[in-house]
Each structure stands twice: as C-alpha cells, then as structure tokens.
C-alpha cells in the first residue's frame, strides 16, 4: 500500500494534476502513431525528464496514439495545446509525458513573402561564437571530425583565445558535448542574434533543434558575457571579408537551386525556402530540420564551410561538396516517404548486423534510421549520375561508396547503391524515385 501512495504522490508532484491519465509499460521503447505516420520504437521513456515532450505539428486536428508493450493511450490533438499523461514504467518509474502542438517557430506573412522561393547561405554571428567556444573545449581540440583543425582561421582562434579555455562556459559546454549535444546546441544558437553587445532571441524560432527544449538558451547570458570578455564582435567584424569570400565559394560549390529542382522532380513534396548555415570551424557534424506553417515549408541546414582544395577539377569539387548538403536536404524528401513504409522497412532490415557495423549502429539504432541513411546517400549518387560527366560521376560515386562502407560502417551500401541504379535506369517515364521504394525494400528483404 505504501508503494502506491508514493507513486500517487510522485504523479501529483510531477504532473500537478491527479486527473492525469496513466498507462503502464515494462519496456522503455514505445511506438507512436502520429496521424497517418507509424513510428516503430519512436519514443524512449526517460523518467528523469519532467515533462518529456513529444512535439508534433498539427493544422486542424489529428489522432496521436502511444503504444507501450502493455497498454496504449490516444489523444485527438489540436493546434497550440499540451496533452499530459503518465507512463508507469516497471510499476515504479513515473514518466511524465507530454504531447505538445505549440509551434516552436512562427512565420508571419511578411517573412513568408520575403523568403518564399529563395535560399540563403550564412555564418550566423551567435552561432559562430558558439563554434568558437566548441573549438576551445577539450572535446573540440581532440575531435577533428567535430571541429575543422585544418585552417589558418582555427590556428588564429587558438592563438588568440586559448588563454580562456578554462572559462566556466567553455567547461559547461564541453560537458554537454561529451553527452552528445553538439548538433542541438549549434542548431539552437542560430535562433539568437547580437544587438550591440547583447544577445537577443529571434522571434521567429523558439528553437531550431529537434529536442523539446531549446538547448542553448539556459547558457545565453554566460555566452554573452564570454563574448564581451574576448571582444568577439570585434573579431567577427574583422573577419567579415573572409566570411563573405567563404559564402561566395560555398554557394558555387553547393548549388542549391540545381539540387532543389532535381529533388522536386523526383518527389511530390515541395519546399519553399532553404536556409543553409555554416562555419569554417565545422568538419563532419551536419544536421537539418524543417518547419511548416501556413503552407510555407522551410528547411534549415547546419553544415561545414567550402573546401579550399585545388586537388580536383571544379565539377568533382562541386559533386563532393554538394554531397554534404544534398544528403541533409534529401532527408526532408526521403523520410516522409519512409514513414509510409515503416513496417516494410522493419521487416526488410530486421537483422541490422547485415547492414551496419556496431559503431554505425550506435548512432543509427533502428531499421528506419539505417534505411534512410542508405536511401539518402544513394539518391545523391543518382543526382550525380544525372548532372555530372561520366568520368567525374564515376569518381564521385566511388568516393561516396568508400565513405559509406569503410568510414561510416554501412557495409552493404555498394550493393544497395548498384540496385538503386538498376531500378532507376529501368523505371518508366512516369515513375519517380518514390515509386522505387517497394522494389528496393523487396530487394533488401531478400538479402
């Protein structure tokens, strides 16, 4: 009896309502049906997060259902509302869960009119300050895939600012980097800007990362103080010409309109705006998110800067650099189609040891995520096939296959890619890539 009294008290203290519905679970993995989208293992219970927020976009209303191994609960959700419930894990851990439909961005008519049909490349000032902090952390100094160590710009930062490497904000963010928050911190940093020496929040975005909360916001005042201490705004202003040159170069190396037009010929989905943020301090840590409101669809990407290499011809450089942004862009086209085939993906790739190394599996822990990586990278090679000279395509394709199989651990990518080429070349005139999903999934199932 005492144990149940404690549980009830926990529920009241956590959710602040004795009317909060409760379901039970023995497994921490939960399936979600979000409208028409089925997310197998799409939620992992975290009792320590209160509330643990599941964000979803809704225009009028839709049904969202959480399925545990023991129980289920459904809500008909409407815009700009919160829906709280409790999942009692193993009869002892209270998981306060919230379905949240409050938009984390707000595109007004003026913003939509200004940006519809356009794209931009930018090095946001506050985000660059955050990248500078990352570069000074022990993690950033050790991880050459996270921070680009190969530029004079990086050497200059170390020379000017290494004396500040033990500042509290640097050590705090280093702790978060060690916990895997790199992408979410830098993504959310793009939602802030400088006004004089103060950092202000952009009214358009509550957050830009995927998480339910803004990861960088709790540290903004300390980041602002650090920026003043090192005179960051002066440093940034002194490098405006350098940033401008990089922006011109990246726009040439990653032609967005070319990619945009090709993808929208292959998929029914249409996007209205691409915002590409980058930094010369970024190496391999790339990410993307998309935002939809009032029939306006925006994709924001967070990628590395342009290459300074003169080792290859211009078309090969374009192909290699386009891959960086393309494999982020096309997630926004691939993933929504994959959502419709989740059961088939799970059945076709049920033994992930055939498809990934253990290291790759640590970052892409289920069939859906693994399949999407295979698909997004393979679709890039189809784009390269359609857009580059044969000899340049062959080189680019070989580089992609090498990176996927040997460096990233997607061990059957070469065979998968060859099958996608076969299907692509054989498709009828009125078919597009989205129509190839059942065929490639059938092939995966037979492996």
Q: Looking at 19-23, 241-245, 384-388, 418-422, which range is the least confident one?
A: 19-23
pLDDT of residue 1: 40
- Summarised one tens digit per residue, pLDDT across range 287-332 is 888 888 777 889 999 999 998 777 889 999 999 999 988 988 888 8
Instruction: Residue 49: name the closest of 96, 102, 84 by CA.
Output: 96
CB-based contact 434:337 (threshold 8 Å): yes
Q: Looking at 122-136, 285-299, 314-328, 408-422, which range is the least confident one?
A: 285-299
H helix or E strand, kind and range, residue 76: strand 72-77
pLDDT of residue 423: 96
Residue 132 has pLDDT above 90, yes or no: yes
Calculate mean pLDDT across residues 403-409.
93
pLDDT of residue 211: 67
Calculate mean pLDDT across residues 108-124.
93
Look at 46 and 219; give whichever has higher pLDDT: 219
Pairing, β 273-279 against β 296-304: parallel
pLDDT of residue 10: 46
Residue 237's pLDDT band, with cuts at 50, 70 and 90, is very high
Q: Looking at 52-61, 67-76, 115-124, which range is the least confident one?
A: 52-61
pLDDT of residue 73: 96
Residue 9 has pLDDT above 70, yes or no: no
Q: Taking the complete model, does pTM exceed 0.85, yes or no?
A: no
Rounded to 10 degrees, what is the CA torsion of 148, 153, 159, 161?
A: -80
258 alpha carbon, distance to own chain's centre: 22
CA angle 305, 283, 161 (to 5 degrees): 90
pLDDT of residue 18: 54
Structure tokens at 257: 């309109």
Structure tokens at 311: 């080792």
Q: For residues 315 and 311, what is the distance between their CA atoms, to the nearest angstrom?
A: 12
Q: For residues 357 and 94, what is the distance between their CA atoms, to the nearest angstrom?
A: 35
Q: For residues 412 and 370, what is the distance between their CA atoms, to the nearest angstrom?
A: 11
Sign (positive or negative) of CA dihedral 115, 120, 124, 130:
positive
pLDDT of residue 319: 93
Residue 266 has pLDDT above 60, yes or no: yes
CA angle 352, 358, 363 (to 5 degrees): 85
pLDDT of residue 236: 98
- Summarised one tens digit per residue, pLDDT across range 201-211 is 999 998 999 86
């Amino acid at each position: 009896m005492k144990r149940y009294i404690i549980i009830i008290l926990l529920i009241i203290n956590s959710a602040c309502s004795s009317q909060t519905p409760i379901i039970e679970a023995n497994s921490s993995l939960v399936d979600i049906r979000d409208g028409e989208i089925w997310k197998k293992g799409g939620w992992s219970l975290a009792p320590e997060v209160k509330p643990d927020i599941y964000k979803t976009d809704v225009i009028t209303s839709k049904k969202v259902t959480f399925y545990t191994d023991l129980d289920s609960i459904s809500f008909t959700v409407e815009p700009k509302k919160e829906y709280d419930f409790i999942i009692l894990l193993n009869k002892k851990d209270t998981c306060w869960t919230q379905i949240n439909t409050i938009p984390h961005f707000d595109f007004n008519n003026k913003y939509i009119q200004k940006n519809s049909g356009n794209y931009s490349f930018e090095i946001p000032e506050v985000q660059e300050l955050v990248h500078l902090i990352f570069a000074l952390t022990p993690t950033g100094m050790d991880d050459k895939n996270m921070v680009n160590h190969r530029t004079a710009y990086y050497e200059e930062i170390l020379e000017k600012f290494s004396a500040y490497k033990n500042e509290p904000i640097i050590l705090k963010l280093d702790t978060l980097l060690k916990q895997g928050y790199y992408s979410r911190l830098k993504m959310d940093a793009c939602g802030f800007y400088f006004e004089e020496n103060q950092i202000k929040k952009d009214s358009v975005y509550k957050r830009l990362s995927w998480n339910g909360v803004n990861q960088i916001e709790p540290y903004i005042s300390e980041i602002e103080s650090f920026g003043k201490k090192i005179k960051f705004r002066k440093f940034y202003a002194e490098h405006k010409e350098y940033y401008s040159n990089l922006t011109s170069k990246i726009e040439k190396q990653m032609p967005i309109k070319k990619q945009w037009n090709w993808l929208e010929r292959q998929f029914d989905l249409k996007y209205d705006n691409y915002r590409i943020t980058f930094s010369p301090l970024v190496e391999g840590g790339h990410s993307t998110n998309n935002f939809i409101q009032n029939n306006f669809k925006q994709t924001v990407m967070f990628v590395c800067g342009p290459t300074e290499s003169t080792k290859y011809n211009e078309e090969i450089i374009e192909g290699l650099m386009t891959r960086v942004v393309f494999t982020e862009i096309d997630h926004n086209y691939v993933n929504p189609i994959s959502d419709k085939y989740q059961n088939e993906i799970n059945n076709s790739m049920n033994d992930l040891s055939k498809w990934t190394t253990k290291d790759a599996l640590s970052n892409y822990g289920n069939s859906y995520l693994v399949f999407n990586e295979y698909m997004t990278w393979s679709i890039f090679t189809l784009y390269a096939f359609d857009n580059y000279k044969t000899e340049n395509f062959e080189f680019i394709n070989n580089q992609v296959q090498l990176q996927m199989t040997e460096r990233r651990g997607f061990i059957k990518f070469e065979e998968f890619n060859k099958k996608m080429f076969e299907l692509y070349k054989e498709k009828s005139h009125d078919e597009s890539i989205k129509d190839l999903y059942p065929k490639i999934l059938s092939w995966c199932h037979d492996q």
